[in-house]
Structure 1
Amino acid sequence: MMKIVPPKPFYYKGGEKAVLLLHSFTSNTMDVKKLGKYLQKNNYSCYAPLYSGHGLTAEELITYSPSDWWQDVLNGYQLLKDEGFEKIAVIGLSLGGVFALKAGQELDVNGVVTMSVPIHREVSVLQKRVFHYAKRYKKLEGKQEEQINLEMKLLQNMSIDSLVEFQQLIDVTMDNLALITSPINILYGELDEPLYAESAKVLFRSVMTNKKTMKGYPNSTHLMTLGTDINDVNKDILTFLNDLI
């Protein structure tokens, strides 16, 4: 059996402005590592927390809930505050984008960037994501097909309370979009599910800030930070951050 080394949070020290980088659901900080290094080279200090249970087995992942993951975000924000940063922007991908919106509603941030954010997600879709992640993880561990099938059956009987809470978190965050007054940059991949382009338009209409921009990237799917348009995505995010007061 192969032991998988779990990913870690990262902190790249750069300039006097800070960025909190937030990864997606069932993924890890590798989502935002290239972006973090790019921003560090351009004088930004970046911290990316790893949400509880992420990078571990699916069975362990679903024992944690969005309130645990939000606490990881708050801890990351506090780490940057404790480091003395007064100006903190938040950038998030997918679930991380939902958390970036929540941060824009509840924390003192000077800018928000969202990528591939859903305005709604059914529990069944979230469950499929977990199953897909579980299968991939078990294959990486080197387990045989028979063993994987057996474990997948057991996983299907586990509680989905955390996923119900996740759906509710998205809904509540979207209900409070009018609370966002910081500048916001809303990005989506044009090759992603149509839901994400629609969601971007809803976000753009609903936030109260006057400083808002939206852009679709023609060659990007869901993980925009690792796709074909990565250079354009990075440059556009940097331009947005440089324009913040």
Structure 2
Amino acid sequence: MMKIVPPKPFFYKGGDKAVLLLHSFTSNTIDMKKLGKYLQQHNYTCYAPLYRGHGLAAEELLTFRPTNWWQDVLDGYQLLKDEGYEKIAVVGLSLGGVLALKVAQELEVTGVVTMSVPIRREAAFLQKRVFHYAKGYKQLEGKNEDQINVEITRLQNMSIDSLVEFQHLIQKTMDKLALITSPISILYGGLDDPLYKDSADVISHNVATQHKTMKGYPNSKHLMTLGIDKNEVNKDILTFLNDLLW
């Protein structure tokens, strides 16, 4: 059996301006590494927390809840504060984008960037994501098809309470968009589910700030930071950050 090395948080130190980078659901900090390195090269300090359970087997992932992931985000924000960074922007992808909106609602941020953010997701859909992740993880471990099928069946009987909580987190965050007064950039992939374009429109329409931009990338799927348009995405995020009042 092949042992998978768990991913880790990363801290790329640059200049005085700090950016909190938040990865997507069932993924890990690899979502944000290229963007983080790019921003570091342009004098930004970047920290990306790893949410509990992410990068581990799906069975372990489901033992953690969005409350745990939110605490990981709060700890990441506090880490930057403790390191002396007074001005912090937040950038998030998918689940990370939802959490970035929540950060902008509850904490002081210089600006916020969201990518591929859903305004709604049912727990059943999220469960399918977990199954897809589980199968890929088990294949990487070197397990055969029969063993994988047995373990996926067992996984189907696990509680999805954490996914129901995730569904509610999205709903509650979208209900409070009017609390966001910081500048915001809302990005989505043209090859992603049409829901994400609709979500971008809803977010743009409901945030309180007048400093807002929205852009779609025609060649991008869900993981925009790793796709064909990633260089353009990185440049646009840098331009947005450079225009903020730090």
Deviations 1:186-226 (A, max 9, x none): 00001100000000000000000010000000110000001
Deviations 1:137-173 (A, max 9, x none): 0000000111111111110000000000000000000
Q: Does 2:147 correspond to 1:147?
A: yes
In the alignment, what sits opposite 1:204?
A: 204
Deviation at 1:80, TM superposition (A): 0.1
Aligned positions of 1:33-72 closer than 5 A: 33-72=33-72
**Structure 1 CA distance, aligned partners of 2:149 and 2:127?**
16
In the alignment, what sits opposite 1:5?
A: 5
**Structure 2 CA distance, aligned partners of 1:99 and 1:26?**
14
Q: Does 2:18 correspond to 1:18?
A: yes
Deviations 1:86-135 (A, max 9, x none): 11000000000000000000011110000000000011110000000000
Give the counterpart letter for 2:10 in structure 1. Answer: F
**Structure 1 CA distance, aligned partners of 2:185 and 2:170?**
18
Deviation at 1:238, TM superposition (A): 0.3
In the alignment, what sits opposite 1:112?
A: 112
Aligned residues with identical type, % of pairs: 77
Give the counterpart letter for 2:121 in structure 1. Answer: R
**Structure 2 CA distance, aligned partners of 1:210 and 1:195?**
23
| Equivalences, count | 245
* TM-score, structure 1 normalization: 1.00
Deviation at 1:233, TM superposition (A): 0.4
**Structure 1 CA distance, aligned partners of 2:110 and 2:102?**
13
Give the counterpart letter for 1:139 in structure 2. Answer: Q
Runs (5+) with no aligned partner, structure 2: none
In the alignment, what sits opposite 1:238?
A: 238
Give the counterpart letter for 1:188 in structure 2. Answer: Y
Deviations 1:48-88 (A, max 9, x none): 00000000000000000000000000000000000101110
In the alignment, what sits opposite 2:192?
A: 192
**Structure 2 CA distance, aligned partners of 1:2 and 1:58?**
16
SS in 2 for 1:92: strand
**Structure 1 CA distance, aligned partners of 2:145 and 2:237?**
42
